[in-house]
């Protein structure tokens, strides 16, 4: 039996499984989500589902994949229903119905534009990953970026999220339809502010009046999103389909913990998110920094250092005493103190809880998955901490080690001919200096990449010295013995 509108009634007979409690068939689409990947389906879509289960509303989601057709082609066979498996001591299952359709922009651009310009569409939400914002190292829109350059020449046939948002808002302005609000849900510091600026930087190139209209009429609240969501694997499909009693070709798995903090600087219609656990606050910045610097920074550190030491998952590497001590030391000595947290957040406890979440044996989170897109992710997770600590005169030794682990991860992949999942992969393979055994040459080559490091870090003598010592220490012996490396450096 395949999961579908028909069979979900049978699944619902199992009281342990939550199914949609609203009139899904007659629920209209009120949200267009760009990037309906696993994280969206495990996080925002679930909050919206629970809000509709509680109080209804026309908050169906139209998911838009900018390029890939996989999600659409799999989910359409099961009426876009899917199972959320919450992995903790016990596994809980919920059938999610919030996503009513999935479109592929590169194939269905007219339908996408019709959704984006429909008066019923009140919100556009995004999980397009760091690279999807097309920003330069200065955090502003990179007008040279290939997708942006394409869209500026072909404004009615965009390929980027920013191109679609501006084209749709332009259409709504012409048709005198209220603007939709835009909610970024990516691990980008100041995600709403950066997206607002990028959208305006783009629109002003095409139509100054439209740029002003967007500036006045569209809200771009900042938000912090958090829930560890490993990618779905074949065994997930089998175990979840067995548990719910219906074939689900693409269930989603995540941890029990979930958090969404949204800036409350905007009016306009939205689902009853605050009634299902979403926090609205005037100070998102502190929450964002806490999460990016204590969870994502440690994640990326474990991804590169752990992979170099031969580990496969976050659980495996965090169970290792030396690595456990390393990330605790990094958090305590270099992350905490690098920013001002929200009053209500106790950072020591928050940090401990995050490491406890890494030690959830039910979560098989591949280091290789977290290691993707380092050139983009580290600009949000590690470089800002280094910059702040350099200004504050605080230590950056362990952060430099973390960064050097990423350098070595890339260098080794190039030497071994392994695939590098990163928008700059081809740039790295055109840098022969990254094959060098000379640590200084490698460090200088990386630091000279201005689109990642900008000028400040590139010219920091302290940082360069620490990176060279770290990389040299990392290259002693075959497998990384993190403890001895840390001892060498501290
Ligand atoms: C991870 C994040 O893949 C990664 O880069 O660090 O997806 C992380 O699991 C989430 O941000 C947790 O909320």
What is the Å distance from ligand 1's center to 300 Cα?
A: 9
Q: Is the pLDDT of residue 351 over 90?
A: yes
Residue pair 390/377 in contact by the 8 Å Cβ criterion: no
Sheet containing strand 91-96, strands side by side? 17-18, 91-96, 82-87, 252-255
149 burial (CB, 10 Å; 0-12 / 13-18 / 19+) is: middle
Asked if residue 477 has pLDDT above 70, the reply is no
How many Å apart are CA 412 and CA 15, to the nearest integer? 51
Distance from Cα 117 to the centre of ligand 1, integer Å: 32
* Token pair in block for residue 54: 């509680």
Separation of 62 CA from ligand 1 center, angstroms? 24
pLDDT value at residue 194: 97
Q: Say how many Å lie between the CA of residue 185 and the centre of ligand 1.
A: 12
Phi then psi for residue 262, to 5 deg, are -120, 140
Convert the pLDDT of each residue in 445-465 to its tens digit: 999 999 999 988 999 999 999
pLDDT > 90? residue 319: yes
Residue 71's pLDDT is 96
Q: Which of 35, 38, 299 to mutate to test the pocket of ligand 1 (most atoms within 8 A of CB)?
A: 299
**pLDDT given for residue 243 in this prediction:** 97
- Of all protein residues, the one whose alpha carbon is nearest to atom 1 of ligand 1 is 370
Protein residue with least CA distance to atom 5, ligand 1: 370
pLDDT digits (tens, 9 = 90+) for 11-48: 999 999 999 999 999 999 999 999 999 999 999 999 99
Q: Tell me the three state secondary structure of residue 313.
A: strand
Q: Could you tell me the distance, in angstroms and rounded to a whole number, from the CA of residue 12 to the centre of ligand 1?
A: 31
What pLDDT digit, counting tens, does each position of 174-230 carry? 999 999 999 999 999 999 999 999 999 999 999 999 999 999 999 999 999 999 999
**Cβ–Cβ < 8 Å for 250, 232:** yes
Ligand 1 lined by 376 (C-beta under 6 Å): no
Residue nearest to atom 3 of ligand 1 (CA): 370
Q: What is the pLDDT of residue 490?
A: 74
- Binned at pLDDT 50, 70 and 90, residue 485 comes out as confident
pLDDT tens-digit readout, 432-442: 999 999 999 99
Task: Please give the Cα distance from 262 to 351 (Å, whole number).
Answer: 21
Among 88, 82, 18, smallest CA distance to 246 is for 82
Atom of ligand 1 nearest to the CA of 187: 11
3-class state of residue 58 by DSSP:
coil
461-474 and 383-392 helices, crossing angle to 10°:
130
For residue 329, the CA-to-ligand 1 centroid distance in Å is: 21
pLDDT band, very low/low/confident/very high, at 268 (cuts 50, 70, 90): confident
For residue 49, what pLDDT is reported?
98
Over residues 54-109, the pLDDT tens digits come to 999 999 999 999 999 999 999 999 999 999 999 988 899 999 999 999 999 999 99
Of 225, 244, 228, 226, the C-alpha closest to 236 is 244
Does 127 contact ligand 1 (Cβ within 6 A)? no
* Minimum-distance ligand 1 atom for the alpha carbon of 226: 13
What pTM did the predictor assign?
0.95
Please, what is the average pLDDT of the chain? Answer: 96
Estimate to the nearest angstrom the gap between the alpha carbon of 149 and the chain centroid.
24
Region 470-481: what's the mean pLDDT? 80
pLDDT band at 478 (very low <50, low <70, confident <90, very high): low
- Alpha helices by DSSP H, listed for 184-274, are 191-206, 208-217, 234-244
The per-residue pLDDT for 479 is 60
187 C-beta closer than 6 A to ligand 1 = yes
pLDDT given at position 369: 97
**Three-state secondary structure call for residue 197:** helix
For the chain, what percent of residues have pLDDT higher than 90? 94
What is the residue with the minimal CA distance to atom 8 of ligand 1? Answer: 228
């Amino acid at each position: 039996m395949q999961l579908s509108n028909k069979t979900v009634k049978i699944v619902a007979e199992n009281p342990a499984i939550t199914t949609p409690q609203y009139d899904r068939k007659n629920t209209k689409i009120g949200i267009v989500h760009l990037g309906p990947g696993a994280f969206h389906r495990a996080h925002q879509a679930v909050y919206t589902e629970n809000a509709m289960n509680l109080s209804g509303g026309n908050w169906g989601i139209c998911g838009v994949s900018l390029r890939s057709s996989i999600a659409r082609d799999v989910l359409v066979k099961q009426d876009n229903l899917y199972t959320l498996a919450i992995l903790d001591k016990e596994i809980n299952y919920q059938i999610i119905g919030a996503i009513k359709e999935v479109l592929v922009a590169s194939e269905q651009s007219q339908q996408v534009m019709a959704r984006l310009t429909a008066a019923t569409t009140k919100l556009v939400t995004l999980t397009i990953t760091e690279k999807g914002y097309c920003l330069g190292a200065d955090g502003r829109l990179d007008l040279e970026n290939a997708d942006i350059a394409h869209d500026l020449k072909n404004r009615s046939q965009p390929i980027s999220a920013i191109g679609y948002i501006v084209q749709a808002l332009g259409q709504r302005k012409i048709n005198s339809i209220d603007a939709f609000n835009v909610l970024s849900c990516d691990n980008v510091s100041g995600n709403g502010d950066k997206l607002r600026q990028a959208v305006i930087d783009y629109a002003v190139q095409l139509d100054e009046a439209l740029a002003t209209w967007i500036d006045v009429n569209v809200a771009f609240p900042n938000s912090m999103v958090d829930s560890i969501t490993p990618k779905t694997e074949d065994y997930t499909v089998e175990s979840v389909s067995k548990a719910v009693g219906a074939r689900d070709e693409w269930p989603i798995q995540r941890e029990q913990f979930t958090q969404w903090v949204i800036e409350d600087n905007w009016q306009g219609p939205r689902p009853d998110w605050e009634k299902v656990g979403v926090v609205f606050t005037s100070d998102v910045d502190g929450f964002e920094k806490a999460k990016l610097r204590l969870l994502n920074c440690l994640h990326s550190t474990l991804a590169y250092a752990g992979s170099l030491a031969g580990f496969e998952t976050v659980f495996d590497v965090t169970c290792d005493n030396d690595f456990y001590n390393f990330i605790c030391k990094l958090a305590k000595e270099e992350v905490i103190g690098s920013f001002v947290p929200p009053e209500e957040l106790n950072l020591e406890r928050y940090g401990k809880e995050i490491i406890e979440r890494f030690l959830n044996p039910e979560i098989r989170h591949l280091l290789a998955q977290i290691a993707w897109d380092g050139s983009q992710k580290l600009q949000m997770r590690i470089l800002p901490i280094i910059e702040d600590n350099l200004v504050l005169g605080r230590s950056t030794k362990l952060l430099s080690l973390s960064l050097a682990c990423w350098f070595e991860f890339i260098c080794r992949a190039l030497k071994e001919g392994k695939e590098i999942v990163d928008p700059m992969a081809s740039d790295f393979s055109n840098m022969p200096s990254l094959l060098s055994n000379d640590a200084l040459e490698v460090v200088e080559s990386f630091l000279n990449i201005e689109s990642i490091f900008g000028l400040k870090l590139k010219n920091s003598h302290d940082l360069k010295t620490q990176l060279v010592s770290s990389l040299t220490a990392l290259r002693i012996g075959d497998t990384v013995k993190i403890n001895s490396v840390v001892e060498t450096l501290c």
